[in-house]
Amino acid sequence: MDTWPLAEFLISAGPSVWPGHKIHGHAHMIKDGTEVPSFLCRQVDWLALGVKEIKGRAHDSYTRKANSSYIVVARRAVRILNINSFTMNKTLFSLLLISSMGWALAPALMAQDKLDSLLPVRSFCIDAPRPVGLDSFVNFIERELAPRKVNTLLVQIDYHYQFSSHPELTDSFALSRSDVKKMVAACRKNSIRIIPQINMLGHQSWANRTGKLLQVYPDFDETPWVKIPEKYEWPNADNLYCKSYCPLHPGLHPVLFDLIGELCDVFESTAFHAGMDEVFYIGDPRCPRCAGRDPAELFAGEVRILHDFLARSGRELWIWGDRLLDGRTTGLGEWEASYNNTYRAIDLIPKDVVICDWHYERADKTAVYFAMKGFRVLTCPWRQSSIAIQQVADMVSYRNQSTPEMKSRFLGLMETTWSRTDMFLRGFYSVPNAATPENTSWNCFRAMFQAIDQLR
Ligand SMILES: [Zn+2]
């Protein structure tokens, strides 16, 4: 039998671990710089293999902060191994681990899947359900997401929540606290990390409707002179796609922080998705605060403000990636990438922001760009099944063909839906027929998770 006098133990459970909850990740043995797949870890009798010393290290991103998530990961990892002698290459972790007690984690690790080593994050993104459809959506979590091993659920809330900090910003069809808790409970039961979203910066209007924030606080509008038309058309003289808020308005962030904090608390979330996609209005020359400023610096400044606010409570910031891609050089479109000079913000924002890199028409390989810049990244398909299947294969390939440093940044995939939740569910449960378009988000959802299932 092979013996490993010194085994390095790589903790890679981070993105889906949070305090008080079950561990989702996986563990590797590393021997001579090569990882042993996590599923072997379950079957190895470590002591019988001659492991005398455990050297623990966590992914870069998990050692940056000493929040309790990482303590849970590390502590439990030690429990699994049941080995008293270990060293940590992070002093902080050593201090935390030495105080760890008990040896109770084995069942959790036993439940982990080979899938976790291939694609650590398997995510689904959808609009907030309406209150009347809440139970149907909770059923969907139980019956469809959990069996497919979805482990992250992004819910686009915006202002459809009954905010107690700012009741004036509560929009129509708003979920109550108890509605949200039903989703949270279903997710917890099925080991799904739930993350709420409110669109920040852009997407403050849609077609002929001004969003709730600018309805209530019109002073926050970056372009108040642009009137929302009765009948929206693109293109238009104002280049109006969606309104933006002015990131330099002095009254803005106290309001946003209240909303974000309240939403993260009720969702018991360890991350918040701030949207920040498709921002067309930024640094407008007529804005008294932003005129003459660099759009990249404005965009990065807003990312940093939100990031720093979340970091104070140990939470991650997730954003869409399109404003960080150079549209003209890459040939990517005006929505899918930036033509308004925000893309240099990629070098100005904190590296622990998680990037949701969406591409719906081609399997563009931009995830590699984000990972090489130091970001953790998810590839996000929408409604073309063949593209999603290719993106699954690409993500597995990126992970397989990368250094450990890069590999840890390729988190996985997130299926997006972009329709009302009830419409998605109706399509999902409808019987396919010749009149049903093939390229729908529900078909893509099925195809993507089938492709992922086949990896097991
Ligand atoms: Zn401004």
Q: Check pLDDT > 60 for residue 249.
A: yes
Q: 352 near 412, Cβ under 8 Å?
A: no
Tokens 């390939």: give the residue.
397
Inform me whether the pLDDT recorded for 45 exceeds 70: no
Q: What is the mean pLDDT of residues 72-86?
A: 32
pLDDT of 104 strictly over 70: no
Q: How confident is the model at residue 433 (pLDDT cuts 50, 70, 90)?
A: confident
For residue 247, how far is its CA from the centre of ligand 1 (angstroms)? 6
Residue 301 to residue 274: CA distance in whole angstroms: 14
Domain boundaries, the chain: 6-110, 119-453
For residue 361, give Cα distances in angstroms to 10, 229, 336, 380, 388. 36, 30, 10, 11, 10
Q: Would you say residue 77 has pLDDT above 80?
A: no
pLDDT in tens, 204-243: 999 999 999 999 999 999 999 999 999 999 999 999 999 9
Q: Are 190 and 145 in contact (CB under 8 A)?
A: yes
Q: Which percentage of the chain shows pLDDT scores above 70? A: 75
Tokens of 216: 């209530």
pLDDT of residue 358: 98
Q: 284 alpha carbon to ligand 1 midpoint, in Å? A: 7
Q: Is 168 exposed, middle or buried (0-12, 13-18, 19+ CB in 10 A)?
A: exposed
Are 195 and 263 in contact by the 8 Å Cβ rule? The answer is no
Distance CA 432, CA 438 (A): 9
Ligand 1 centroid to Cα of residue 246, in Å, is 4
Cα(220) to centroid of ligand 1, in Å?
Answer: 8
Which burial class, exposed, middle or buried, applies to 259 when counting CB atoms under 10 A from its CB (0-12, 13-18, 19+)? buried
Closest CA to 130 of 184, 170, 167, 175: 175
b/e sequence 218-241, b meaning 16+ C-beta within 10 Å: eebbbbeebeeeeeeeeeeeeebb
Q: For residue 95, what pLDDT is reported?
A: 28
What does 68-87 look like in DSSP terms, one character per residue? HHHHHHHHHHHHHHT-S-EE
Residue 83 has pLDDT above 70, yes or no: no
Query: CATH 3.20.20.80: does it fit domain 119-453?
Result: yes
How confident is the model over 6-15, as pLDDT tens digits? 333 443 333 3
> What strands, in cross-sheet order, belong to the sheet with 53-58?
34-36, 27-31, 6-11, 53-58, 86-88
Q: pLDDT tens digits, residue range 127-145?
A: 999 999 999 999 999 999 9
What spacing in Å lies between the alpha carbon of 219 and ligand 1's midpoint? Answer: 10
Tell how strand 27-31 and strand 6-11 pair up.
antiparallel
* For residue 100, pLDDT beyond 50: no
The whole-chain average pLDDT of the chain stands at: 82
239 CA → ligand 1 middle, Å: 17
Residue 113 pLDDT grade (very low, low, confident, very high; cuts 50, 70, 90): low
* pLDDT single digits (tens) 286-318: 999 999 999 999 999 999 999 999 999 999 999
At residue 339 the predicted structure's pLDDT band, cuts being 50, 70 and 90, is very high
- Give the per-residue pLDDT at 435: 78
pLDDT band of residue 456 (cuts 50, 70, 90) is confident
Calculate how far, in angstroms, residue 375's C-alpha sits from the geometric centre of ligand 1.
28
Section 175-189 average pLDDT: 98
Residue 161: name the closest of 267, 295, 28, 284 by CA: 267
